[in-house]
């Protein structure tokens, strides 16, 4: 049990419109952090929590608080029907996220999605559905402002130093590789440097995969998975007699929470899918 500091929702200004939030993947590492953050937000109310693990448990103890009166439930569809939220925040797994988003949209609920690993076909289906239903949806492979800036700076650097490799490092329970952030970085770098191909065509890998995954134009992406890591990435540029490294480290999951809060607030006023936090930050 914690010290009770998070046992009460924050004091709220009278007349403030509260955003009703359900969290999917609530038992997971990110889900717990989102539960705590939403619980503490003065303009939000946590109305439901969904996970296939921990069903029936009160969610307060998941972030070290006493019981708060919201219990984990297994079926998203049922929770959305019963609690009628404004927003569903999803930090689940690549195999269920697209279905969760569609379920939310069919209930008139706006999704804010951090789960990575969705296919481009799934993304297109969701774009079409959100557009048709005229509902906002934010999908961001990285909610940390520092990571968004890293990608922006990488795009700038790639115009002058087009030889690039990306090393991303995450905890060893991460399901997808490379990370959504690494793919996004490679896309942005490839677009910024135009028609360019790097690498030595005659090189030989003595161990398959030694040179990492190959993205468009020969951009190599290397994925490191180790306990102790959270989410980190280094983008290394090589030029004549010099290198430039742009590195971002999420040293705790708190790093993602300002971005998640921003997305919950902004999704209420959007129509259709916004992909990437940068499109909310640098419009």
Residue ranges of the annotated binding site for NAD(+) are 25-30, 51, 114-116, 140-143
Cα–Cα distance for residue pair 32/209, rounded to 1 Å: 35
In the bound state with ligand NAD, the residue whose beta carbon lies nearer, of 162 and 180, is 180
**CA 173 vs CA 46, 148, 179: distances in Å:** 27, 23, 12
Residues of span 56-115 touching ligand NAD by CB under 6 A: 76, 91-93, 96, 114-115
Binding positions for (S)-2,3,4,5-tetrahydrodipicolinate? 171, 180-181
Query: Helix or strand or coil: residue 217?
Result: helix
In the bound state with ligand NAD, the residue whose beta carbon lies nearer, of 231 and 236, is 231
CB of 218 to ligand NAD, least distance (A): 26
- Look at residues 116, 120, 135 and name the one whose alpha carbon lies nearest to residue 177: 116
Stretch that binds ligand NAD, among 22-30, 60-68, 184-192, 195-203 (CB under 6 A): 22-30
| Residue 193 and residue 162 in contact, taking contact as beta carbons nearer than 8 Å | yes
143 binds ligand NAD (CB under 6 A): yes
Cite the active site residues.
170, 174
Q: From residue 110 to residue 139, what is the string marking binding to ligand NAD with x (rule CB under 6 A)?
A: ----xxxx----------------------
Binding positions? 25-30, 51, 53, 114-116, 140-143, 171, 180-181
| Residue 248 and residue 233 in contact, taking contact as beta carbons nearer than 8 Å | yes
Total residues at interface with ligand NAD (CB under 6 A): 27
In the bound state with ligand NAD, the residue whose beta carbon lies nearer, of 161 and 169, is 169
Both tokens of 18, joined, read 């509260």
Cα–Cα distance for residue pair 41/33, rounded to 1 Å: 12
Residues of span 169-208 touching ligand NAD by CB under 6 A: 174
CB of 180 to ligand NAD, least distance (A): 7
Looking at residue 196, the DSSP 8-state letter turns out to be -
| Residue 148 and residue 278 in contact, taking contact as beta carbons nearer than 8 Å | yes
CB of 182 to ligand NAD, least distance (A): 11
In the bound state with ligand NAD, the residue whose beta carbon lies nearer, of 25 and 212, is 25
CB of 269 to ligand NAD, least distance (A): 21
- How many H-runs (helices) and E-runs (strands) does the chain carry? 8, 12
Q: Strand runs (DSSP E) across the chain, as ranges? A: 19-24, 44-50, 72-73, 87-90, 110-113, 136-139, 163-170, 213-215, 219-225, 231-239, 242-250, 272-275
Point out which residues bind ligand NAD (CB under 6 A): 24-25, 27-31, 50-53, 76, 91-93, 96, 114-117, 140-143, 174, 231, 256
């Amino acid at each position: 049990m914690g010290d009770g500091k998070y046992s009460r929702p924050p004091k709220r200004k009278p007349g403030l419109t509260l955003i009703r939030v359900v969290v999917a993947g609530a038992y997971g590492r990110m889900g717990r952090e989102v539960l705590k953050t939403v619980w503490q937000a003065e303009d939000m109310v946590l109305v439901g929590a969904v996970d296939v693990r921990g069903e029936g448990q009160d969610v307060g103890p998941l972030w070290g608080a006493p019981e708060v009166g919201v219990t984990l439930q297994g079926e998203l569809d049922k929770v959305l029907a019963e609690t009628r939220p404004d927003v569903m925040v999803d930090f689940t797994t690549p195999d269920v996220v697209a279905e969760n988003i569609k379920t939310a949209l069919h209930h008139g609920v706006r999704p804010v999605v951090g789960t990575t690993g969705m296919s481009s076909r799934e993304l297109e289906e969701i774009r079409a559905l959100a557009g048709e239903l005229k509902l906002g949806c934010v999908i961001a492979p990285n909610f940390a402002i520092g990571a968004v800036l890293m990608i922006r700076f990488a795009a700038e650097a790639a115009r002058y130093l087009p030889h690039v490799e990306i090393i991303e490092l995450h905890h060893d329970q991460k399901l997808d590789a490379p990370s959504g952030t690494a793919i996004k970085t490679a896309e942005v770098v490839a677009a910024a440097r135009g028609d360019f191909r790097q690498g030595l065509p005659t090189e030989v890998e003595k161990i398959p995969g030694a040179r990492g995954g190959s993205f468009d134009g020969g951009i190599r992406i290397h994925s490191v998975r180790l306990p102790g890591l959270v989410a980190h990435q280094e983008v290394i540029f090589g030029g004549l007699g010099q290198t430039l490294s742009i590195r971002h480290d999420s040293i705790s999951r708190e790093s993602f929470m300002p971005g998640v809060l921003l997305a919950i607030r902004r999704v209420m006023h959007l129509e259709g899918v916004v992909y990437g936090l940068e499109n909310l930050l640098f419009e």
